[in-house]
């Protein structure tokens, strides 16, 4: 029989309150003789989360070391232009997005206002994915899901 292990774990309650809304305008048309799509929209997401740090013995929480009530809000607006080239073999998208994040944590943390700008380019290559199995709380690999193998 294994001895219990002392340690810390993060416990996030499942009683999180989430609210959200999304509004989107889609306008398909022809641009330079090619299929194109203009998208404009806005979204809102609001979370109230109770987070705590609990010491544990044998993975069972025994006390509360610290806890916080977090309120996180995200409001965004975006525009996007897409076009198909080479008979639909190449699809290009470009756009702008503005996000406004607001958060408040009831504990000893601090808030500062700021601005950020980010750009990214990526290729999603799902050779394997971790899938959460809720029945036993484990993870397993599933894949490959590549379109070209």
Tens digit of each residue's pLDDT (9 = 90 or more) over 101-134? 887 777 665 555 666 554 545 455 556 666 777 7
CA distances to 57, 58, 61, 62, 66 from 8, in Å? 9, 10, 8, 10, 11
CA 28 to chain centre: 28
β-sheet bridge partners, residue 29:
36
Domain ranges of the chain: 6-121
The pLDDT assigned to 78 comes to: 95
CA distances to 13, 23, 31, 91, 143 from 37, in Å? 41, 16, 9, 11, 32
The pLDDT assigned to 27 comes to: 97
pTM over 0.75: no
Residues of the chain below pLDDT 50: 1, 118, 120, 122, 146-149
CA 7 to chain centre: 28
């Amino acid at each position: 029989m294994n001895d219990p292990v002392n340690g810390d774990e993060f416990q996030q309650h499942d009683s999180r309150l989430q609210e959200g809304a999304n509004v989107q305008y889609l306008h398909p048309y022809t641009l330079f003789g090619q299929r194109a799509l203009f998208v404009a929209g806005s979204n809102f997401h609001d979370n109230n989360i109770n987070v705590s740090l609990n010491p544990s013995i044998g993975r069972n929480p025994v006390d509360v070391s610290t806890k916080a009530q977090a309120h996180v809000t995200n409001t965004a607006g975006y525009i996007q232009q897409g076009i198909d080239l080479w008979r639909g073999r190449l699809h290009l998208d470009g756009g702008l997005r503005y996000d406004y994040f607001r958060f408040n944590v009831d504990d000893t943390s601090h808030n500062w206002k700021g601005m950020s700008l980010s750009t990214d380019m990526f290729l999603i290559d799902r050779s394997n994915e971790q899938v959460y199995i809720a029945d036993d709380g484990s993870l397993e690999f599933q894949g490959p899901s590549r379109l070209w193998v």
